[in-house]
Structure 1
Amino acid sequence: MAAASLSFFKLSFLLSLLSGGSNISETRPGLVGKFPPSCNRIECPNYELVHTGNGYEIRRYDTAVWISTEPIQDISLVDATRRAFFQLFAYIQGKNEYHQKIEMTAPVISQVSPSDGPFCESSFTVSFYVPKKNQPDPAPAKNLHIQKWKPRYVAVRQFGGFVSDSTVGQEAAALQASLQGTAWANAIEKSKQDGGVGSDSAYTVAQYNSPFEFSGRVNEIWLPFEIDG
């Protein structure tokens, strides 16, 4: 029964990413401190809450390992994530060099590097969090690569509903606006200028929920950065 339930959740998560959003949504931008409900059921990366601000929070994440797609060129985050998740779902089902089935985790994250023009393709790298028991020797796979994160800080803005192309840019801009004038904004900018954490993308979108959870949905915009010393 437990195995059947897990398989159903995996399929549900896949359908969520294939759905491209929904007309059912929650207008609850700028949530702060809501624990993603998926993390009560499946493994998520560990973090310490460092600071809570007006519409944002600062977290310090522990070391983590992610399995990631190669950059995908597309004008749509939703479409790029859909394409990428076919690869990631096959990976956890055993399509890897170890022929190893891997437990579902959350979130699935999409690192976004926007284009210079309104109708040009952006670059999206989509990643699956590798469970702790697999992190010492994560299974390699064709067309996927392993990202090993050192501890890092992340500025986070939470928002409800289903992720869509029309909202993620607005939410990312709102996070940057809420950080304006803070020491955190200075640290984020310095980390980018120094070529450190966060310099390889504009922002990251984290998705946690199954498509059958119409209330209490939690998505996040991440701005990762380092602090010297």
Structure 2
Amino acid sequence: MTSPVLVFTTVLLLTGCSVLGKRSAEEPPYTVREQSGAIEIRSYPSLIVAETVVEGDYRETSGKAFSRLAGYIFGRNSGEQKISMTAPVIQEPEGKKIPMTAPVLQEPEGDSWRMAFVMPEEYTMETLPRPLDKAVTIRELPPRLVATIRYTGMHSQRNIDKWSEKLKAWLDNEGYEQLSPPKAASYDPPWTIPMLRRNEIHIDVNDR
């Protein structure tokens, strides 16, 4: 079981975020096709994600899912390299370090939630180390068109529902076909000041 201290330190080291919300994590490339205020239609290339599914509601599953994925990118993988970290709580974990990227994606799946970390661009399905945790899987997403809406504040279930409805209403009005349920996209760790957080809702759509 991963301790809260380990998770906190892992995220702080890998994202380069401070309590004020400064971030330096790599983001996947995309092209903005259309923009309307806080809403964007983005074209994403093929991406590789590490993901896991945890049963329960959004609040219950976030910590456990994050711990699993943080463990994978921080050494619980098939690499052979040992890494010495500056934080005293993490010392020479076995495995290959994988830089953390933003955003962290979450979406409902029946009575569960799926969380995914986007892998850095330099990796392929062949070069990415395999997870040692069977609950973590690697998947390649095809190129796709994604509708997004950006907001600040808490990434709570209430806010996810509120901003999902706003985005879905705009898509219906603009004639876009929605191909996926809303996904919660988090760019900052939970200790970032709410007013400085970058949160988004993502929905895959068909081109008009």
TM range (shorter): 0.7 to 0.9
Structure 1 counterpart of 2:78: 97
Q: State the shift of 1:150 in Å.
A: 1.4
Structure 1 counterpart of 2:183: 204
Q: State the shift of 1:92 in Å.
A: 1.0
Matches within 5 A, 1:99-118: 99-113=95-109
Which runs of 4 or more aligned residues in structure 1 lie more than 6 Å from their structure 2 counterparts after TM superposition? none
Letter in 1 for 2:146: V
Letter in 2 for 1:102: I
Q: State the shift of 1:153 in Å.
A: 0.5
Whole-angstrom CA distance in 2 between matches of 1:55 and 1:178: 11
Q: State the shift of 1:54 in Å.
A: 5.0
SS at match of 2:196: coil
Whichever structure has more helix as a proportion of its residues is: 1
Tell me, which stretches of 5 or more residues in structure 2 are unaligned?
1-7, 80-94
Whole-angstrom CA distance in 2 between matches of 1:84 and 1:129: 14
Contact 1:111–1:203 (8 Å) recurs in 2: yes
Query: Pick from 50, 55, 66: which aligns with 2:33?
Result: 50
Matches within 5 A, 1:34-73: 38=23, 41-69=24-52, 71-73=53-55
Letter in 2 for 1:216: L
Q: State the shift of 1:93 in Å.
A: 1.1
Whole-angstrom CA distance in 2 between matches of 1:177 and 1:212: 31
Q: State the shift of 1:173 in Å.
A: 1.1
- Aligned pair in 2 of structure 1 residues 210, 178: CA closer, same or farther (>3 Å)? same
Whole-angstrom CA distance in 2 between matches of 1:12 and 1:219: 20
SS at match of 1:181: helix
Query: Pick from 140, 154, 165: which aligns with 1:173?
Result: 165
Structure 1 counterpart of 2:90: none
Query: Pick from 59, 64, 78: which aligns with 1:78?
Result: 59
- Whether 1:154 and 2:146 are equivalent positions in the alignment is yes
May I ask how many residue pairs the two structures share in their alignment?
Answer: 178
Letter in 2 for 1:158: R
Letter in 2 for 1:153: L
Contact 2:14–2:99 (8 Å) recurs in 1: no
- Please report the TM-score for the alignment, with normalisation by the length of structure 2: 0.76
Q: State the shift of 1:97 in Å.
A: 2.0
Structure 2 counterpart of 1:28: none
- Whether 1:125 and 2:114 are equivalent positions in the alignment is yes
Greater relative CO, 1 or 2 (CA 8 Å, sep 6+)? 1
- Please report the TM-score for the alignment, with normalisation by the length of structure 1: 0.69
